Amino acid sequence: MIKQEVIEQVRTQTDIVQLIGGYVPLKKAGRYYKGLCPFHSERTPSFHVNPERQTYHCFGCGVGGTAINFVMVTEKLEFPEAVRFLAKRLGITVETEQASGKNQALYNICEQVCQFFEQQLLKTPAAAAYVERRGLSAETVRRFRLGFAPAGNILRGQAKRRGWSEESLVQAGLLRAVEGRGTGGEGLVDWFHGRLVFPIFSLSGKVVGFGGRVLDDSEPKYLNSPETAIFRKGESLYGMFQAKGYIREQIPILVEGNFDMLSLVNAGINNVVAPLGTAFTPSQAQLLRRYNARITVCFDGDAAGRKAGRRVLDILLAAGMEPQIALLPDGADPDSFVRQFGKEKLLGLLGTSQDWVEFALAGRDLSRVAEQRAALGELVGLLRLIGDEATRELYANRIADRFRVNKLVLLRSAGQEKPGAARAVVNRGVEEKLLGSAIQTRELAQIARDLGLADILQDEKLRPIARLAADHCDDPGFNAGLVLGLVDDDDVRKLVAAWTFADLPTPGEFRERVRRFRADWLHRRLKEADARGDDAAVEVLQKERCKLLQEVTRERSARQ
């Protein structure tokens, strides 16, 4: 793990203009530098570099970040490698520190057991023959570190011989207590018996859990590690660690099973992930959304696969993604299809994917009004899940044309034209301006923290940024670059990077603006309390609001 001091040194000492100027011709334009964006085609420069705040942002495609982010994208490096890349340019020695923490023992034991399972696969002819029958190359087996868990409590015996902690093995879900015998001594048995083992990795490449498949048709066919302090099935995707370097630029493909994913990768299609044998979850969708807003769903071609594809639509749309669905022939699955027909045939099929509107309507008899009304109701329900107004309106246009109905009727039904919608848009703009100022300097961030800005923001996407700034605003090196370095979500990073090009208010002006915003927030709470007849709350809120407005008046008089 690279020391935080080294990361800060690299971030503050890198000349971002010089760095980016080595990739893109830049010209001075007032306080900033401009050039053609290296991330999308354009004729008029919209890519800006801010030397004062050491950030970049393209006002055309929205990308933005710090020098470290730029290197990660252009050189296709992970964060640690990007830091080392820049450190080498600066002549900075990259010092690391031993990973520690309450869960380190679990990471260590999972890694040791993974190595043991890998060795057992090589020593077990039946397991090796099964992998060969499934068509996986030795390279794919090594890359995903496939292994084999022998029957007969071999792992527990190995733990005794190697001095591994049985407590850690229990906590990692690799040993379990036999019911009625407690958790000690003879009561412990292996979790996996006679199964091909699929290690599950964190985004940083640590082994956090395992999946196991029998070599025959016995049940349960698949079994995952139980959830632990380092492993949550609903928050992980199989193959995500290996795919994340590809899915920023290639549309991720979501398949159902481990072998679906492995067979596609084995054929040279690397932008593939799979749920861990459970229903697809909102957390998994959000994980994918951090890398790409688009996704292709490629499930089995039978009725069950189509139902599963329909279920994930709600989750993907609610996460802000743009799903396409690839329809395999009836009875086919991605694993069998790519092994029978090859990579190019599958890519061709993926290229003919349907959007969610066409998929939801596929196979329906729309000759009668009743069926049309039912289909339209389902589509409006999906439309309601889309948070971005422009995207929602574009799909509303398509649905309206298809059914020959008024688009405004659809949008009203989908909840776009709610009372107060205009106010919400205005509030979002005010909130962005306030928070965009707060992240720029330590003083403004401290004012925002002391006045509780994070607690009164209505936009759920902005609150985590405000809390991040509040948590770190006492750091001596606090600025927008530090905040950008702490942000994982690509969309949030774009937003924050854009804020770094805004003019800043003085501390006094900023304090007044936050107080006025809080006064407006209190006024709305006051009206709500009055409507429900809560006189005590009304009195308290009135006093706090009057006090705030008096402070605003005093500060304004002092500045004048």
Give per-residue pLDDT as tens, 408-434.
888 887 764 444 443 444 456 788 899
Cis peptide before 80 (omega within 30 of 0): no
d(CA 485, CA 449): 20
Numbers of helices and strands, H then E, in the chain: 27, 16
Closest Cα partner for 544 from 532, 276, 524? 524
d(CA 401, CA 398): 5
Q: Is 227 helix (H, G, I), strand (E, B) or coil?
A: coil
d(CA 31, CA 250): 35
d(CA 193, CA 177): 14
The correct answer on CATH 3.20.20.70 for the domain covering 240-360 is no
* CATH 3.90.980.10 residue window(s) in the chain: 104-231
User: What homologous superfamily is domain 104-231 in, according to CATH?
Assistant: DNA primase, catalytic core, N-terminal domain (3.90.980.10)
d(CA 148, CA 126): 10
pTM of the model: 0.64
Q: What is the mean pLDDT of the chain?
A: 87
- Tell me which DSSP letter residue 239 carries: T
DSSP strand E in 127-256: where? 147-149, 175-177, 188-190, 195-201, 207-214, 222-224, 253-254
Quote the percentage of the chain above a pLDDT of 90: 42
Per-residue model confidence (pLDDT) at position 425: 42
- The pLDDT tens digits of the residues spanning 490-508 come to 778 888 898 998 888 999 8
Instruction: Look at the block and give the residue holding tokens 């380190």.
Output: 104
Query: CA distances (Å), 349 to each of 298, 319, 329, 359, in order?
Result: 10, 25, 10, 15
- The pLDDT tens digits of the residues spanning 105-117 come to 899 999 999 999 9
**What is the strand order of the sheet 32-35 is part of?**
27-29, 32-35, 47-50, 55-58, 64-65
Contacts of 71 (CB under 8 A, 6+ apart): 19, 77, 82, 85, 86
- Report the amino acid identity of residue 178: V
Output phi, psi for 149, to 5 deg: -105, 110
Burial label, 422 (beta-carbon count in 10 A; 0-12, 13-18, 19+): exposed
* CATH 3.90.580.10 residue window(s) in the chain: 4-90
Instruction: Look at the block and give the residue holding tokens 């030795």.
Output: 138
Per-residue model confidence (pLDDT) at position 560: 62
Chunk the chain into consecutive blocks of 10 residues (it has 560) and report each block's average pLDDT, rounded to whole numbers: 83 92 91 90 90 91 90 82 90 72 84 96 96 96 96 91 93 85 66 96 90 92 92 91 88 95 97 89 86 90 85 88 91 93 95 91 87 89 83 87 85 60 54 91 92 85 87 87 82 87 89 88 84 83 84 73
- Report the CATH architecture of 4-90: Alpha-Beta Complex (3.90)
* CATH 3.40.1360.10 residue window(s) in the chain: 240-360
d(CA 385, CA 145): 38
